[in-house]
Amino acid sequence: MASQIPDQKRVGMVSLGCPKALVDSERILTRLRADGYAMSPDYAGADVVLVNTCGFLDSAKEESLDAIGEAIAENGRVIVTGCMGDEAELIRKRHPGVLAITGAHQYEDVVEAVHEAAPPSQGPFIDLVPQPSDQMVKLTPRHYSYLKISEGCNHSCAFCIIPDLRGKLASRRIDAVLREAEKLVASGTKELLVISQDTSAYGVDTRHETRAWKGREPRAHMTDLARELGQLTTADGTPPWVRLHYVYPYPHVDAVIPLMAEGLLTPYLDIPFQHAAPSVLKAMRRPANEAKVLERVRKWREICPDLTIRSSFVVGFPGETEEDFQYLLRWLEEAQLDRVGAFRFEPVEGAAANMLPDPVPEEVKEERYARLMEVTERISAAKLAAKVGRTLPVIIDEVGEPDEDGDIGATGRSQADAPEIDGQVFLRNVPETLQAGDVVQTLVEDADAHDLYGVIRSA
């Protein structure tokens, strides 16, 4: 009688927080699959559940603790990892039943904990499981992928504890990054989203070392990386969209704008300005050169008129006066940023900002948040209205089912829209052959404060 293949152990994953944590989750699952584990889409089918936590804000910590509690209630066998892993005492106090706790990007420790909790099957065909270098587990749709180029951060912003959670800047080798990008594109990725804690600082820790790549020797530097990524092509011979996220406005950022104008990079910059008032920026321990930034933004748009700039801002930082807030609103009116997110200041345990005087009352934070969003929504609506009548490339994320009249709608994004955080493009009357990942030329017919509406332009 032939010997049976033992059942594979199955791992469930709950991934919380930012895209950088999502990449961590993908790497953990890829390693576990190489070790013989299968992935479980639900609690019931999992031998063990991993919860990748976020610990950036107290509200995020509470969400992580709730997720751990849900996993314990539904499955009972839970391993915790991620940014909240440094607060093992707090986690165990709330949830004493967790099997193990590891910190952010501690891949080997997580895998070892899974091995102990649910030892991998040792069947005769275990070597047939793909190795990580051959087939990465993806938690995003096939057509877009996050490309993490470094870990950690060298900044000491008063409101942030990321360096405590993830350590100092540690850049990946540029040839390793490019090899991963090439494989992702070869496997169907049409859009690469470059992420880190500080993309502009890539390679500072390695003194921008060079590595051999395709007969060239690019440096571990944002501009060299951007130029090399711009050389990639998808299966149909077109360049993938390449977005730069978490870009600090260092002087060398100027050098990537011409690459956007040439079509080598997606004309999109995600820059975390956080505020504009000099006194608040100083208290935040961030560069206070907001006037110079405005001048550079104007020059960037002269070089690349279709450039989209997204940013995020903190309202109600300790010591922020009404005058400071008015300064920020005036700055936003002048900067005319395309996409803006805002956050009410929230104390984070261990952050230096907690010790600052003159905390802003909660009701004032709420009122300022509402005023800021009113201004930025008005700016966004005007910018999107100006796109009505234009034809723009749109990448399709989802194709709907036919309605009662047989018409099919689809949802996509323009080059001004990153997944999950920006707007969308809603298309009507699309062909039934349309698929997620297709890039189509779309005539914009209408717009609101956040989204566009259109139809695929006939060839």
**Residues 259 and 374 grouped into a single domain:** yes
DSSP label at residue 32: H
Residue 427 lies in a domain: yes
DSSP label at residue 81: E
- Report how far residue 290's alpha carbon sits from residue 205's, in angstroms, rounded to the nearest whole number: 26
The residue among 92, 123, 154 that closes a domain is 123
Total number of domains in the chain: 3
224 closest CA partner among 161, 165, 157, 175: 175
**Residues 292 and 359 grouped into a single domain:** yes
Q: Which domain holds residue 117?
A: 10-123
CB 323 within 8 A of CB 284: no
Q: Give the pLDDT of the chain (459 residues) as one tens digit per residue.
A: 344 345 678 999 998 878 878 888 888 888 888 888 888 888 988 999 999 988 777 788 889 999 999 999 999 899 999 888 888 889 999 999 999 998 876 778 888 899 898 888 655 444 444 444 446 677 778 899 999 999 888 766 766 656 666 678 899 999 999 999 999 999 899 999 999 988 999 999 999 999 999 999 999 999 999 999 999 998 888 899 999 999 988 888 999 999 999 989 999 999 989 899 999 998 888 765 666 889 999 999 999 999 999 999 999 999 999 999 999 999 999 999 999 999 898 877 766 777 777 889 999 999 999 999 999 999 999 999 999 999 999 999 999 988 888 899 999 999 999 998 899 999 999 998 999 999 999 999 999 999 999 999 864
54 closest CA partner among 27, 77, 31, 22: 22
Helices 222-229, 174-186: crossing angle, 10 deg rounding: 20
How far from 110 is each of 27, 49, 117, CA to CA, in Å?
11, 11, 11
Identify the bridge partners of residue 15 per DSSP, sorted by sequence position. Answer: 52
Count CA within 13 A, CB hemisphere, residue 335.
Answer: 27
400 closest CA partner among 418, 412, 415: 412
**Total length of the chain:** 459
The residue among 336, 370, 385 that closes a domain is 385
**Residues 213 and 351 grouped into a single domain:** yes
Residue 198 lies in a domain: yes
- Model pTM score: 0.81
* Residue 166 token pair: 């993830």
Place of tokens 């751990």: 68
Q: What is the CATH number of the domain that holds 189?
A: 3.80.30.20
**Residues 355 and 405 grouped into a single domain:** no
The residue among 343, 367, 385 that closes a domain is 385
Residue 132 lies in a domain: no
CB 230 within 8 A of CB 214: no
Strands, sheet with 308-315, edge to edge from the N-terminal-most edge strand: 144-148, 191-195, 241-244, 268-270, 308-315, 339-344
Residue type (1 letter), 256: V
Q: What is the CATH number of the domain that holds 434?
A: 2.40.50.140
- Report how far residue 257's alpha carbon sits from residue 267's, in angstroms, rounded to the nearest whole number: 8
